[in-house]
Amino acid sequence: MKEILLIFFQGTIILFTIASTLLAGYSLQNKFRLRNVRLNWRAGKMKGYPLFATLFLGLIGALSLVVYLIKDVPNFPIFAAYFWIGGMWFISSYLASKHYITDHGIVKNLNEPSQTIPWFQIMDFVEREYGSGSEFTFTYSEMDKSLTQGYKQLRLFVPQGKRKAFKKVLSLKLKSQFEEETIPNIDLRKIQED
């Protein structure tokens, strides 16, 4: 029974090593496939880095160091595989957690190109300033859906260092959509009299 579990464990590690390598390769391929990137910035939960992948990589790195220091030679390949899995997970998570602003639109998820929001779908946006940056809330409609069914919002936090450049891109891409719209003059006194 012990031998069967060992074979299962080794097979699982090999499977995860291959899967994590393919995922990191897919993420890198999608990153290099992006065209006309105007801006990008880190958006992970741990100072811009993905939280769980960073913690996993740090833990495996520390345990690998312990295995190396106590010279536990039979476990070297296992920890090398774990370290590889952690590294590939970190690469794919890091690339997926970044925000990319392109000439085409806002890339919500690097690994899901269909989730990119083209500029022409954005109906409105609001900016809320914070000390470390600004949060932009975009309202947009999905293609091939009615306005009530396809109405969505995207909240995007822009760090202070990227705010000016981001607003410039917004001005270039969205100004023509919004400048034709005028707010009607409403005389509240006249409405109240009627």
In the structure encoding, which two tokens stand for residue 7, read together? 């074979």
Higher pLDDT, 165 or 48: 165
Q: What is the pLDDT of residues 116-140, one digit of tens each?
A: 899 989 988 999 998 888 999 999 8
For residues 139 and 113, give the distance between their C-alpha atoms in angstroms, rounded to a whole number.
19
Predicted pLDDT at 37: 92
Instruction: Output the CA–CA distances (angstroms, integers) from residue 68 to 55, 56, 95, in the order listed.
Output: 20, 18, 30
> pTM for the full model?
0.77
In this prediction, residues 7-22 reach a mean pLDDT of 94
* pLDDT beyond 70 at 179: no
The values of phi and psi at residue 45, to 5°, are: -80, -15
Q: What is the pLDDT of residues 147-162, one digit of tens each?
A: 667 788 999 999 999 9
The b/e string for 28-45 (b: 16+ C-beta within 10 A; e otherwise) is eebbeeeeeeeebbebbe
Give the residues across from 118 on adjacent strands.
105
Other Cβ atoms within 10 Å of 170 Cβ, number: 19
* pLDDT beyond 70 at 192: no
